[in-house]
Structures are given as C-alpha cells and as structure tokens.
Amino acid sequence: MSNANNTAVIFPGATLGVLGGGQLGRMFAHSAQAMGYFTAVLDKDETSPAGLVSHHHIRTGYEDAQGLAELAQLCAAVTTEFENVPAAALNKLAESLPVSPTGSAVAIAQDRAAEKSHFVKCGVPCAPYAVIETLAQLAAVNDALLPGILKTARMGYDGKGQIRVKTREELAQGWAELGHVACVLEKMLPLAHECSVIVARGRNGDIVNLPVQRNLHREGILTVTEVYEGNLPVTQVEQAIAAAKSVAIGLDYVGVLCVEFFVLDNGQLVVNEIAPRPHNSGHYSQNALDVSQFDLQVRCMTNLPLTQPRQHSATVMLNLLGDLWFKDSDVAQSPAWDQILALPGAHLHLYGKVDAKRARKMGHLNITAATAEQARATALKAAEILGIEAF
C-alpha cells in the first residue's frame, strides 16, 4: 500500500533520494547533508555531479526496475532534479514511499500543450498559442499567431527544440525540421524583460515563495539573475507571486516549482513555462536568503515546516558556461578565479563537472552586497574579468 500521502515528519538521519545526478541534485544533496540526512542518487553517469557527493550512487537509467527498487529500499522519500525524468518512474516509486513532485505534476510540465492548458485552467495569462500535431492543425493555424516561436511539445529546454517562424511557409518548414513531432506555436510578443518566481509547497498545503527574480537570457540560456528591492515594479511582483502560487495550487503540487514569466512592453505578465524542480534562477538563494531553494526542497519532501525566506542582501547571479574556459584558447583553461574571489561579496559555486564544454553549465557566481548598485557594479566587474558580455 502506498504511503505517498504520509504527512509524518522524516527526521535527519534518514536517507533522501533524488532522480538525476546533475548540478541541481548535487546542491540538493549538499543541503540535505548539512541538515543531517544521508543522500542517494539514481543516475547512470559514473561521474555525475550529484553521484560524486552522495552516500549512495545507483548507476542505472531512470526506468530500470532494479535500480528503482534499490532506491525505494534505501530511501525514506524521493525527489527529482530533472524535469524529463519519466513520470512512470516517479509513479512506481510512489507505490512504496513519498515522492515529490508527483508523476502527474511532472507529466504536465513535460508537455507544453498540457502545460498551456493548465495555465488557462488556472486563469493565468499565457501567450496566444496553437497545438500542432497534424497537417490539419497546421493548416488551421490563425495568421494572428505569426510571427511566432514553434516549440516541440516535449523534451525542450535551454532554448532547444525551438524555431522562430515569420510566415506560414517558414512554419511548415520549421515543423518539418523538428520531425513533424507534436509542437506548440506561440505568438511572439513585445518583451520588456523576463522574470521568474520559485514557490515551495508542502503536503499540508502550506506555500512560500522566493523573491521575484529578474532574468536575462542569451541564446535561450539564462545568463544573469538580479534580485533586490525595486528590480521590478511592486504590482508586477505581486502579480507574479499570485500567479505562481495559483499554478502550484492548481497542480496540487508538492515540492519546489519555478514559474517563468515574460513581462511585455505594456507591463503585462504572461506565464512562459514551469520547471518542476529547483531552478537556475534561484541559485542566488544560497547566499542572499536565509533559506535556499534547496533547503526548501528538503523541507517539502520531509514534511518539515516551510518558513517564508527572507532576503538579507541584494544579489546578482552570473551563470558560468563552459565557453568561459575557452576565452583565450582552444584548449580549456581555468578562468581567473583568484581575481573573482578578490571581489567583495563573491561566492563561487562550481559543479564538479569533469570536462568544460561550450554552452555547458559549469557553475554560477553569486554576488551579494548591501545595495543593488554595489551588487551590480561588482557583478559587472566579475563579468569583465570572465569575458561575459556586459548587461
């Protein structure tokens, strides 16, 4: 019989499991271990960042029955750090122990069409869109949706599986380039900037949120996150938090959820997508808040109390991609970390990945300061040292 709805507190000393061995799993493991938990990771990569720092590393694929059984036997509760973990694997684990988020919530986040439908159901505005799965649906697309962005319904992240299209001819060509798989066409909107909200919701319905994060993306990958008072107008902050909570409650979500928004030129917010896990834009919470997104992930899965995070420092987060290792050479060379760590309020987080590769997330840098102006000035100095384009 499933005990997935068990609301008993899981105290430190128990083992907590995570599906996925990437950097989010690594930082989850660090938070769990700091609170006195043991950790177990299921990921087939022998050098996975999370696997290298956990007490147990089960080296199998997500759908391996034996691996899932071993994880279930070891752990008191399980979470995930990767949105494309098969929902069926989460459902299987949920037969014998608490799993957060649920397979049903993750399944919605894995399918853009289902995701958009959920936003509409929650009364949260999103960009006008059309689902394209057949030639008939392609032919029926309203011209008002062009120009637009054609996105695969599944397996797209960090700008992958997306093509900008201006005409019906480009739309048909783009759908062919994507292999005629199920897609969503979103109308391109005049964007002022982007933001995101991370919420954490417990099994008892308690819900808390991180401050609203203002984000800058380049080539589909997050580059900079800025979080301080005044980073967005108060009305936008309130709307984003309310919308994010509505999305989470509508999913009956348990765990940490990131909701990403577009802010239009007229100030209107439209939801872009959700990530059923901690998020790149929340990494600043490790150094600027009294409770990080990873601490909240641990609390959600163990039924520990959720306290509203408090921000004690203005902060700017820089994403560190593998390109920085190739700034002056075709051979990977370590960036000037000594110069970076000489800057006031610099907090370096590297993910322990064996090889640096272009466009690969290798780490992040959190800059904290007493004021937004100080944080931005130091972050711009760090960007100059590292070879990141000014922002």
pLDDT score of 3: 46
pLDDT score of 157: 64
Q: Are 157 and 181 in contact (CB under 8 A)?
A: no
pLDDT score of 50: 98
pLDDT < 70 stretches in the chain: 1-5, 156-159
The conformation of residue 6, written as its DSSP 8-state character, comes to -
Among 309, 106, 313, residue whose Cα is nearest residue 207 = 309
The string of pLDDT tens digits covering residues 226-264 is 999 999 999 999 999 999 999 999 999 999 999 999 999
| Alpha carbons 101 and 389: distance in angstroms, whole number | 36
| Alpha carbons 219 and 389: distance in angstroms, whole number | 13
Among 344, 296, 355, 352, residue whose Cα is nearest residue 322 = 355
Q: Are 345 and 378 in contact (CB under 8 A)?
A: yes
Among 319, 127, 284, residue whose Cα is nearest residue 212 = 284
Q: Where are the domains of the chain?
A: 15-99, 128-187, 191-386
Identify the three-state secondary structure at position 358: coil
Give helix 23-34 / helix 293-302 axis angle, nearest 10°: 70
The conformation of residue 99, written as its DSSP 8-state character, comes to B
Global pTM reads 0.95
Cα R_g (the chain), whole angstroms: 21
The CATH code for residues 128-187 is: 3.30.1490.20
For residue 7, what are its two tokens?
């609301």
**CATH architecture of the domain formed by 15-99:** 3-Layer(aba) Sandwich (3.40)
**CATH architecture of the domain formed by 191-386:** 2-Layer Sandwich (3.30)
The string of pLDDT tens digits covering residues 8-65 is 999 999 999 999 999 999 999 999 999 999 999 999 999 999 999 999 999 999 999 9
pLDDT score of 253: 98
pLDDT score of 210: 98
pLDDT score of 158: 62
Q: Are 290 and 312 in contact (CB under 8 A)?
A: yes
pLDDT score of 1: 36
Q: Where are the alpha helices (DSSP H) in the chain?
A: 23-34, 65-74, 87-93, 103-109, 112-122, 135-139, 168-177, 234-250, 285-288, 293-302, 337-340, 372-386
